[in-house]
């Protein structure tokens, strides 16, 4: 945490000096306070912090994990401490809402310029250190030009830091500040009881409620947008499968008949091209149908180690032909058997591995890593490729969107992987890592025998 904050403060100061949205000293100072909530919890119970960060669910839902272990969140603690200490509103409004997108934070009083600088600096530093504790990597900061500039500064400062090899910062507060902070917290509680400042508690509760409501609203909007995309693709697929496939079959059939009779080599080549292209259009339609209207999962008890080994082995010939190293690292831990549709999730994993193989050049590598917890398993697919461009991250799981040049891929691989994982009760997400630009995670949750899968109703054609 302290390594991240130190890097973020330097990035914030330089970023503010370059783009001029706020004073550099103010940006650096406020960024130094960004970890206030975490420091306060660590001062009282370092074990609570360690358990929270070690929870495997933390990567996907950090707020829920903090609530479960602490009964509150680091952002709430930071807001309340800064209010108790009568810090300026522009400080409280910045460090207390770092998990919100800039436009949502502005609605609850965050100073626009300072907030954008601090949030971008912290997010860029977290990406470089691999520790997302303060910002939400899913909240769209990668689409901000300020964040892009912060990333450039963080890359440069990270290289300098590696060369200088600064001493490692301690992981917990030294004894004196820790006890001072505990006394300060107790004194604040006593003063509040003595003055009967009930209004402050009510105001804090309303702010917390509003912040949670904004986060829920953002999540609901994203869900509604996703459902609207699915509905539109489903309608298109239903019509296209009939209106296009029928004449396509006629074209392909006549071309194959002529190809069988033709003796001229040039004409045979042209007819073969027609057959290939009609097959390609058919596969595109089939992929669209698989995404929009996948068949209901046929769940079975699956031996995870065997299923995973077979799924990865199927791609070794393609990897060897391209000169790419493909390896399976690690084996599942306490959970060896899960319930899901092995065929559908094999297809989902195949899309992730194929996407990685296409992203790396000769001599590169693709690594599949498996890990598990009591309620399921994670399969990560990493590669040595350049990773998705920043402006592509928003559309990674949109159908027909491809970051490659036109004609090289249909833009359905990642959406199909996500869709098949979802209907089996799992998920697919993208998690960038410092030094490893691309990592996709396939989540395989444990499904109880009587628990219904989240399979949506089919849409009528």
Give the strand pairing for 325-329 and 365-373: parallel
Q: Which range has the worst mean pLDDT, 28-37, 170-179, 187-196, 258-267?
A: 170-179
**pTM of the entire predicted model:** 0.50
Q: Kindly tell me if the per-residue pLDDT of 349 is higher than 90.
A: yes
205 vs 70: which has the higher pLDDT:
70
Quickly tell me which residue has 């950090």 as its tokens: 62
Q: Which among 121, 148, 142 is positioned nearest to 4, based on CA atoms?
A: 121
The residue-averaged pLDDT of 283-289 equals 76
- Identify the weakest region by mean pLDDT among 136-140, 264-268, 443-447: 136-140
- Residue 461's pLDDT is 33
Distance CA 66, CA 304 (A): 30
Percent with pLDDT over 70 in the chain? 68
Q: What is the dihedral of CA 411, 412, 414, 420, to 10 degrees?
A: 170
CA–CA dist 54, 65 (Å, integer): 10
- For residues 365 and 328, the answer to whether their CB atoms sit within 8 Å is no
What is d(CA 245, CA 253) in angstroms, rounded to the nearest whole number?
12
In this predicted structure, what is the pLDDT of residue 175?
Answer: 46
Of 207-216, 221-230, 374-383, 386-395, give the range with the top mean pLDDT. Answer: 374-383
Give the pair of three-digit tokens for residue 381. 């697919």
- Cα dihedral 350→353→358→360 (10° resolution): -170
CA angle in degrees (0–180, nearest 5) for 429-390-62:
40
Question: Does 216 or 102 have the greater pLDDT score?
Answer: 102
SS (H, E, C) 297-345: CCCEEEEHHHHHHHHHHCCHHHHHHHCCEEEEECCCCCCCEEEECHHHH
Show the tokens assigned to 146: 């300020």
Domain boundaries defined on the chain: 2-196, 226-292, 300-445
414 SS3 class: helix
The strand pair at 300-303 and 376-383 is best described as unpaired
Flag whether pLDDT at 181 surpasses 70. Answer: no
- Of the candidates 342, 356, 83, 358, the residue with the CA atom closest to the CA atom of residue 207: 83
300-445 folds as Heat Shock Protein 90 (3.30.565)
CA angle 312, 315, 316 (to 5 degrees): 95
Is the CB of residue 22 less than 8 Å from the CB of residue 113? yes
């Amino acid at each position: 945490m302290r390594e991240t904050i130190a890097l973020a403060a330097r990035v914030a100061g330089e970023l503010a000096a370059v783009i001029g949205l706020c004073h550099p000293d103010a940006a650096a100072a406020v960024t130094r306070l960004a970890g206030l909530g975490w420091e306060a919890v660590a001062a009282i119970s370092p074990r609570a912090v360690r358990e929270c960060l070690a929870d495997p669910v933390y990567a996907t839902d950090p707020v829920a994990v903090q609530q479960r272990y602490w009964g509150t969140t680091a952002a709430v603690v930071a807001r309340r401490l800064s209010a108790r200490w009568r810090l300026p509103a522009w400080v409280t409004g910045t460090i207390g809402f770092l998990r919100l997108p800039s436009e949502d934070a502005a609605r609850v009083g965050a100073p626009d310029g300072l907030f954008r600088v601090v949030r971008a600096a912290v997010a860029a530093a977290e990406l470089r250190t691999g520790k997302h504790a303060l910002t939400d990597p899913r909240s769209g900061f990668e689409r901000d030009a300020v964040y892009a500039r912060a990333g450039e500064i963080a890359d440069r400062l990270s290289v300098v830091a590696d060369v200088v090899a600064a001493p490692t910062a301690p992981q917990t507060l030294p004894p004196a500040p820790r006890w001072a902070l505990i006394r300060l917290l107790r004194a604040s509680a006593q003063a509040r009881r003595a003055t009967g400042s009930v209004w402050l508690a009510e105001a804090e509760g309303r702010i917390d409620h509003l912040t949670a409501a904004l986060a829920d609203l953002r999540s609901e909007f994203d869900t509604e947008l996703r459902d609207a995309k699915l509905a539109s693709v489903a309608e298109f697929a239903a019509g296209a499968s009939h209106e296009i496939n029928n004449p396509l079959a006629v074209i392909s059939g006549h071309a194959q008949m002529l190809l069988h009779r033709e003796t001229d080599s040039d004409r045979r080549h042209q007819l073969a091209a027609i057959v290939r292209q009609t097959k390609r259009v058919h596969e595109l339609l089939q992929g669209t149908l698989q995404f929009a209207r996948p068949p209901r999962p046929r769940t079975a008890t699956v031996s995870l180690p065997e299923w995973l080994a077979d799924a990865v082995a199927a791609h070794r010939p393609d990897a060897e032909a391209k000169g790419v190293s493909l390896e399976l690292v690690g084996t599942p831990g306490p959970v060896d058997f899960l319930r899901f549709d092995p065929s559908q999730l094999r297809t989902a994993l195949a899309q992730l591995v194929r996407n990685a193989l296409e992203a790396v050049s000769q001599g590169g590598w693709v690594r599949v890593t498996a890990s598990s917890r009591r309620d399921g398993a994670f399969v990560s697919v990493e590669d040595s490729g350049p990773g998705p461009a920043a402006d592509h991250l928003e559309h990674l799981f949109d159908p027909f969107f491809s970051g490659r040049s036109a004609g090289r891929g249909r833009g359905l691989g990642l959406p199909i992987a996500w869709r098949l994982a979802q209907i089996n009760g799992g998920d697919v997400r993208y998690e960038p890592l410092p030094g490893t630009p691309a990592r996709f995670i396939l989540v395989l949750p444990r499904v109880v025998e009587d628990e219904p899968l989240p399979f949506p109703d089919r849409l009528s054609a």
